[in-house]
Amino acid sequence: MKFKKTIILAFILTVNLQGFSQEVLTKKEALRITLANNFGIKIANNNLETAKNNSSIYNTGLLPTATLSSGASFRRDNQTITRQDASATSISGAITKSYNASVNLNYILFDGLGRKYNYQQLKETYNLTALQARETIENTYVQLFTAYFQIARLSENKNNLTEALSISEKRLQRATYQYEYGQSTKLDLLSAEVDVNNDRLNLINAVQQLSNAKRGLNLILGVEKEVIYDVETGVDFNEFLNLKELQQKTTAKNISLKQREKNIAISEFNIKISKANYLPSLGLNTSYGWNQSENPATSFLAGSTSNGLNAGLSLSWNLFDGGATKTRVANAKIALENQQIGLEQQKVIVENNLKNTWENYKNQRFILKTQESNVLTAKNNFERTQERYQLGQVTSIEFRQAQMNFISSKAALNNAKFDAKLIEIQLLQLSGDILNVTF
């Protein structure tokens, strides 16, 4: 038993000593590392780069196409020709050679404005992808600070449990002396030992939870970092938040609403692109070519060379395509209507979430103030009970109860503080303002 106690004490001593040499990972530094290394953000940035490439004018058909072609042929055969006067000539191994080269330019002058609308749609698609990337960053902000404040919460809890263990160890020492001098019973000594062991186990579990939480934060940071670091445990609240301002910002900047609006714009261009098929298409074709041939003696011409410019226009108009275009236009209009309905639905959902979160935030701030008062009361009660315990005026059970009430009130205050901050972060995300706030 003494050996096990020695191991536990050594473990706790090691944990406490590490605190003197640990680095502090600030919120600002954690955010910097996350933006640079987070896997989800990297993927979102790559998707944005792809959307940028797709929205380029090179991907729209608005530019002409140019091709260069050339060729050569060689022919060797036996030939016999018979003239009108019945004379004949035969050649064995007659050789014919020909060469050609041309530059071709094709350009669609008009296609019912389909290319123009497609180009504008690609631009809107890029804007939508940018909003999706921003949403990924916003969600990563929430994940980061949820994990960060969880570590801060566990760190504070570990400190509270360390203080509880220190108090219990002093009580055990006192109970040991009292028992040795016959001033207390064996029951008081055993009770003190049990409480010390329980506090040690609680501290060990808290340390393990803290290490696990730090490894979870490392995943969000996108780095392999040792878990022997501290975080900032201070919390600053935005005292200028009010529901009316949040509602205005939400309407203008909420990321889910902005994406719905972009989807509506994309659907509107789908209708215009489909309607472009009702109009004719006019194309320009031009080329510059060079041809040369070398003929055998049986040919009328010994050889020929030609070069020149060719140009032409082509007009096509699909007068009736069996109703395919009409169907596409009708379906595009329905898709637009669905997007508009989806936007209205999302507005209701976001507004409802905002009001619920705001009420939760106000309640949590009230709970925080109440817990602050409770801690002061519990601390005062514990200090008075501790004094009376040292004078032998209260039992060890009463002392333990006062101790647990004090530790529990500090844990409740700690939880209320970080719960309130996390709800505030949710409010900032709903209002689209989370990227503009310094934590």
DSSP states along 357-382? HHHHHHHHHHHHHHHHHHHHHHHHHH
Beta sheet of 303-316, edge-to-edge order: 65-82, 88-110, 281-294, 303-316
Rg (CA), the chain: 41
Q: Tokens 């790559």, residue? A: 46
Residue 402 within any structural domain of the chain: yes
Residue 312 within any structural domain of the chain: no
Structure confidence at residue 361 (pLDDT)? 97
Q: What does the alpha-carbon distance between residue 53 and residue 309 come to, in Å, rounded to a whole number? A: 35
Structure confidence at residue 298 (pLDDT)? 64
Strand pairing report for 88-110 and 281-294: antiparallel
Q: What does the alpha-carbon distance between residue 370 and residue 393 come to, in Å, rounded to a whole number? A: 30
Share of the chain above pLDDT 90, in %: 75
Structure confidence at residue 4 (pLDDT)? 41
Residue 146 within any structural domain of the chain: yes
Residue 359 within any structural domain of the chain: yes
Assigned token pair, 234: 């201070």
| Beta bridge partner(s), residue 23 | 229
Structure confidence at residue 20 (pLDDT)? 38
Structure confidence at residue 299 (pLDDT)? 66
For residue 18, give the CATH number of its domain: 1.20.1600.10
83 CB-contact burial (10 Å; exposed 0-12 / middle 13-18 / buried 19+): exposed
Band of residue 7 on the pLDDT scale cut at 50, 70, 90 = very low
Structure confidence at residue 117 (pLDDT)? 96
Assigned token pair, 425: 């972060």
Q: Which domain holds residue 149?
A: 2-37+112-280+322-436
pLDDT digits (tens, 9 = 90+) for 315-373: 999 999 999 999 999 999 999 999 999 999 999 999 999 999 999 999 999 999 999 99
> Do residues 94 and 297 make contact, with C-beta atoms less than 8 angstroms apart?
yes
**Ramachandran quadrant class, 279 (left: phi over 0; alpha: psi -120 to 50; beta: rest):** beta
Question: How many domains are contained in the chain?
Answer: 1
| Average of per-residue pLDDT across 83-104 | 80
| Average of per-residue pLDDT across 86-91 | 72
Band of residue 11 on the pLDDT scale cut at 50, 70, 90 = very low
Residue 81 within any structural domain of the chain: no
| Cα angle value 219/221/222 (rounded, 5°) | 65
- The full length of the chain comes to 439
Band of residue 17 on the pLDDT scale cut at 50, 70, 90 = very low
Q: Which of 151, 173, 164 is nearest to 378 (CA)?
A: 164
Residue 368 within any structural domain of the chain: yes
